[in-house]
Amino acid sequence: MVEPVRAMTPRPGSQHRHVESPPPGVNISTPTPAEERPTPIPVAPSSTPQSTGSTSSPPPRPVTKRDPKAPASIPPTQIVGYETYSPNVRKVLDLSLELTNQNLGYKYGSADPKNGGMDCSGFIYYVLKQNGVKDPPRDAREQYIWVRKAGTFQAVLAHRDDSFELNALKPGDLLFWSGTYNVDRDPAITHTMIYLGREKGTNRRIMVGSSDGRTYNGQQKFGVSVFDFNVGPAKTKSSDERSVPTFVGYGRIPDLPNE
């Protein structure tokens, strides 16, 4: 069972934090609100003088200004070497990128796009189920244990994006973080996404999933989106444990058919 959706309203001026849905029965010491993606702001059309002739131009249509924090998407053709990916990995990534075009928000406790959004492990669960993976775990921690037991996990201890520990990273791999919220469980895995590869033009590593405030191209994005993948800096003793995620590693999707 998945814990019901809880509507949360962030305090004014609060910082965005990356959150993951804790599983039923898990107590977290400091609940973190899921950010809601802001509603696009309509821009009133400018007035245009009408022609004095026998015909007149129709008035301009209202223009909707796209919110910069709305989900980002790219076509598969913008990923380096996409055509060389295995067919089943392409299916996983095709569905993932298709979901980024559906204007889905971050929705705590949801694993179905029909609900208008999903949380991060719900996104993984939905994509894998739709691609024939039998009984994938629903929770990020359980997904991490699932990958560890399959023997495909690669731990990353470094805090640099050029670490040799990323040499085995492949498109379609599951990515795992701890520290996105305080939780009393072991292992304390709280966040997960899917690695896409490198983006053409920028050569940046990118990933896909659901988040309430990670970034793409330097801008915060909310909901089901493409995001930049960075290992990130190490924590310090003065860091706020609730707002400093730690990347712990990656691994192949277990039981992906015909892989």
Q: What string of DSSP letters covers 84-128? A: GS-HHHHHHHHHHHHHTTS--EE-TT---GGGTEE-HHHHHHHHH
What's the average model confidence in pLDDT over 74-79? 96
pLDDT for res 257: 84
Contact 232, 5 (CB under 8 A): no
What single-letter DSSP state applies at residue 79? B
What's the average model confidence in pLDDT over 79-85? 97
Please report how many Cα atoms fall inside a 13 Å half-sphere around the Cα of residue 92, on the Cβ side. Answer: 32
pLDDT class for 55, splitting at 50, 70, 90?
low
Sequence-separated (6 or more) residues with CB below 8 Å from residue 70: 37, 38, 40, 103, 221, 222, 223
pLDDT at 33 over 80: no
Full DSSP string of 145-162: HHHHHHT-EEE----STT
pLDDT for res 80: 97
Q: Which of 52-56, 116-120, 165-169, 201-205 has the lowest mean pLDDT?
A: 52-56
What's the average model confidence in pLDDT over 172-193? 86
Q: Which of 146-150, 213-217, 221-225 has the lowest mean pLDDT?
A: 213-217
pLDDT for res 254: 95
pLDDT at 192 over 50: yes
Percent of the chain with pLDDT over 70: 69
pLDDT at 236 over 70: no
pLDDT at 168 over 50: yes
Higher per-residue confidence, 31 vs 42: 42
What's the average model confidence in pLDDT over 151-164? 94
Contact 210, 122 (CB under 8 A): yes
What's the average model confidence in pLDDT over 230-246? 62
| Structure tokens given for 98 | 């298709």
Higher per-residue confidence, 205 vs 245: 205
Q: Which of 174-178, 180-184, 237-241 has the lowest mean pLDDT?
A: 237-241
pLDDT for res 58: 58
- C-alpha Rg value of the chain to the nearest Å: 20
Higher per-residue confidence, 179 vs 96: 96
Mean pLDDT rounded to a whole number for the chain: 80
pTM over 0.85: no
From the list 105, 186, 109, the residue with the least C-alpha distance to 145 is 186
From the list 18, 7, 8, 14, the residue with the least C-alpha distance to 227 is 18
Per DSSP, what are the bridge partners of residue 246? 178
pLDDT at 242 over 60: no
Give the Cα separation of 62 and 46 in Å (integer): 9
Higher per-residue confidence, 229 vs 34: 229
Domains of the chain: 71-251 (3.90.1720.10)
pLDDT at 96 over 50: yes
pLDDT for res 197: 98
